[in-house]
Structures are given as C-alpha cells and as structure tokens.
Structure 1
C-alpha cells in the first residue's frame, strides 16, 4: 500500500496570499493560488480576491492554505507546526526568519532532553516549534 502524505492546511483571515508568499521566500517551492472570484463569479465582492486555495509544493516543506470565507476568529491553537532535524545552522535560520514579526514563546536554547528547541507564533498567527535533534 502506498503511504499517504499529510500536508498542513493553514487557515487565514484575509492575508493568505501574503503569508504563503512569505513562506515561499523561506522554504522555496512552487506557489499556486486560486481566489474565490476565480471559482465563483457570483461570490460576494468582499471575498472575491481572497484565496480559496493555495498550495506550496516542491520546496523544503509542502503545505496548503486558504482565507476563511466567514469573518471572525478562527478556532486555532489546536495544532502547531513542528520543524525538526540535525542542521542546527539551517534550523536556527528558519527560526529567525519565521519568527520575524511574530511572538517568541520559547527562545532557541538547549533543553533538558538534550535538543535545541524554540517555539513562536508567527506574524500570521501560526504556531511553530523548531527542534534541532541531539546527535
């Protein structure tokens, strides 16, 4: 049986295009986006240019996203994206890039379990954990 692939699907409140372009600048890959207006010409003008579906594939990380069609707060804080590996310099760079404009909740530092770990909420409200695995 072929292994299934899990892609995080990020939900935004009107700034999906900006966020996905930001992530593309960090992770690379091919970014494709489709607006609500491209899919349904009769959609409300307020969401016509909002992103109905975006995919960032072929870079260091693959993920998808969209703008929520309904205004109001999202039911977030249930999922965090975790980026881990052995490349300390590379992962520290990702931490710095992704946390820019956001809120660091755990600075990158050596932890009691031996790994170097940090956590933050990025400028788009997405929670991240970066873990440099102990050798």
Structure 2
C-alpha cells in the first residue's frame, strides 16, 4: 500500500484564482467543483466559489484548495503552513521560483544555503508561504 499527502489550502473567495495561478507555475490539470455544481449553496453570492479544487501535474505536484463559506469561521493565522517544493534539478526549481515570485513578498531570496545548494522562501499574492529548494544528501545520524 502507498499513500500520498496533499497540501489543502483554504481561502475566502480566492481559491479559483489561486489554483489557476499554481497551474500557471507548475502546469498540470486543474479540477474545480463549485458549491453550485455540488448543490451545496448556502449563500447565493458564493455559488460559484470553489467547494473542491486541485491542481495535479504529471511530475508529482499536487495542491488542493477550497473557499471557506462565509457562515464558517475562518482565520488564516500567521504562517499556518508552508508548501515545500523540493527537487533535484536546480533549473526547474529556479523556473518555479521565478513564476511564484511574481507579485510576491520575498522572505529569503533564492540562493545557496548552509543546508541546501539552492533555497528560497516567499509569500505569494494569496498569502501562502512557499519554500523551494534543491535537496541535499545528509548522512544519517
């Protein structure tokens, strides 16, 4: 048996825009089901918001998102989650970084770090914090 874990992001009315942006960065397929599609509308102005959505690419990137309805309390908190994108190809990590960096706040510029040949952290236009790095081999302790 194998399992897969997927980061699931919560938004208030921005899930579709976020998923479209992540698809533009990582490629893959975008699936989105609105509250109207699922016959689960609780407020007419939220009918076209996302009840379930995801972007999944052939190279393994996957993220899910939904819009928290107004009747449900929602507080995104302070850095409640990081999405870590790690790979072996520095050029590919750099391409992802350059696309994610558009309209973002750079926390740690992409560059060499003591623990990785390439590492960077940013907060994107949707308030999601991303960590991108090239994996390093560490001896087992």
TM, length-normalised to structure 1: 0.88
Cα shift at 1:114 = 4.3
Residues 34-73 of structure 1: pairs in structure 2 closer than 5 A: 34-40=33-39, 42-60=41-59, 61-70=61-70, 73=75
State yes or no: 1:85 paired with 2:84: no
Q: Deviations over 1:10-36 (max 9, x none)?
A: 111211111111111221222111111
Corresponding position of 2:5: 6
Runs of 4+ with >4 A deviation: none
- Alpha-carbon contact 1:37-1:43 (below 8 Å) kept: no
Tell me the TM-score normalized by structure 2.
0.85
1:96 alignment counterpart: 98
The CA deviation at 1:115 is 2.4
Q: Identify unmatched segments of 5+ residues in structure 1.
A: none
The correspondence of residues 101-120 of structure 1 with structure 2, limited to 5 A, is 101-120=103-122
Q: 1:71-94: per-residue Cα shift (whole Å, max 9, x none)?
A: 754235121011112211111111
5+ residue gaps, structure 2, are none
Once residues 114 and 16 of structure 1 are traced to their aligned partners in structure 2, the CA distance between those partners, rounded to angstroms, is 31
* Contact 2:35/2:41 (8 A) holds in 1: no
Matches of 1:20 and 1:76 in 2, distance apart?
21
The aligned length equals 134
